[in-house]
A and B are shown apart, each in its own frame.
Chain A
């Protein structure tokens, strides 16, 4: 019994003894005494009964409005039983910064936009890869005398075709950017993930995964085989034929590379959507580039090859030999792609 009295003295000790406070203390004391006797009558030991009564006491915070001690309880850090209450006011501030969660509707609209626009992206990237084809073919054909045309004219026609194709591809990319404009906050990662959407997106990716893997394998196969026209011509054809027609073989190689991209890129949308939706708080933008890495690499890689090719051809004036850039670039591209694919598969196996 003394323990109960001492407990109440401690609980109320921090506050000035107003009439209401003393009344509450007296009545709670009576309640606790009654409860104690009740437990002892039920057969509990004294210690057990005291323990039970103190457990059932509750928290003085609850009485604050009735006892007129709210002001003392709320800001007090050292007051009994207020530690939990004192941290409350800061919580809403911390949450205020969280962006709005992604809704199922928004996610589905985004996925649909990606699904519909992906073939267009694939075509644009493929066009970029194919853009130097006329230039390479015409430069060697005219240089080697297979076509009765001045090489300068051939190069001019090729360059014109290159610029036209690049323009079309860029316009397609811009159009696609507009299509995805309403989902800018998703691609930028400015949203809070939601468990329902997470589950849906993962399932979407899982369903599309076998097709995507097949497409990537076919594409990598094509990229490895792409160099065969060039090899065959160099090894099998007589040197004078090779000199004139090697550009056509290189153009064929680029066409095969572009076909691989056309096979793979349209199958990539579900995986890419899932990765965007299951990552938030600004990291999505970075990962968005990483996921479609083959697509991104081809968009930067091939224009770079074009620059090297043109630089060598114009500055070195060596149209007859500069085509060698293309087979080297193709082999390198196939190697990089299959390397990335292997890494991806390794990660997936480890995660699964």
Chain B
């Protein structure tokens, strides 16, 4: 089970990488994240919502009003060009982070 604190900095990366494939709405994003993480991490709704709103505020994501198949109004999110380049930065940063942390835990039994 991964703590919310441990993964907080990378929720943006997760959301952007999902939106890179296609525009989506909040619940679908939560579903997709759950499908990938399984039981190891469950994203809270407020965490996800604050992430998309933060990304929208930074211009990395745009939103438009859509509707579900049953006609219910839904906000769809769509990655911007700025979002794509930010995703690349975040991915590179994660690779560095992972490599640095790995160097510290070498030889530590877990």
Which A residues are closer than 8 A to B by beta carbons? 24, 27-28, 30-32, 34-35, 38, 56-60, 62-63, 65-66
Contacts and interface: CB of A to CB of B under 8 A. Distances in A.
Contact of B72 (A24, A30, A66): A30
Contacts of B30: 31, 35
A120 to B, nearest CB: 41
10 contacts: A24-B53, A30-B74, A31-B26, A31-B48, A34-B27, A56-B44, A56-B45, A60-B46, A66-B49, A66-B54
Nearest to B48: A31
Given A27-B75, A30-B74, A65-B54, A35 B47 contact: no
Contacts of B74: 30
Interface string B39-69: 0001111111110011001000000000000
Contacts of B72: 30
Contacts of A56: 42-45
B97 interface: no
Interface centre among A30, A59, A60 (most CB of B within 10 A): A30
Given A38-B31, A66-B53, A66-B54, A58 B47 contact: yes
A62 B46 contact: yes
A32 B30 CA distance: 11
B31 A32 contact: no
A28 B26 CA distance: 9
Contacts of A62: 44, 46-47, 50
Contact of A66 (B26, B43, B50, B73): B50
Interface centre among B27, B30, B54 (most CB of A within 10 A): B27
A27 B44 contact: no
B44 A63 contact: no
A75 B43 CA distance: 27
Contact of A31 (B45, B50, B73): B45
B73 to A, nearest CB: 8
Interface residues of B, number: 20
B26 A63 contact: no
A2 B104 CA distance: 50
Contacts of B43: 56
B49 A35 contact: no
Contact of B44 (A34, A38, A59, A66): A59
A32 B44 CA distance: 11
Contacts of B45: 28, 31-32, 35, 56-58
Interface centre among B26, B31, B50, B73 (most CB of A within 10 A): B50
A65 B53 CA distance: 10
A59 B57 CA distance: 20
Contacts of B73: 30
B63 to A, nearest CB: 10
Closest 10 interchain pairs by CB? A58-B44, A58-B46, A34-B27, A66-B53, A62-B46, A62-B50, A31-B27, A31-B26, A63-B50, A31-B45
Contacts of A66: 49-50, 53-54, 57
Interface centre among B30, B44, B46, B48 (most CB of A within 10 A): B46
Nearest to B8: A62
B46 A63 contact: yes
Given A30-B26, A56-B44, A58-B44, A63 B31 contact: no
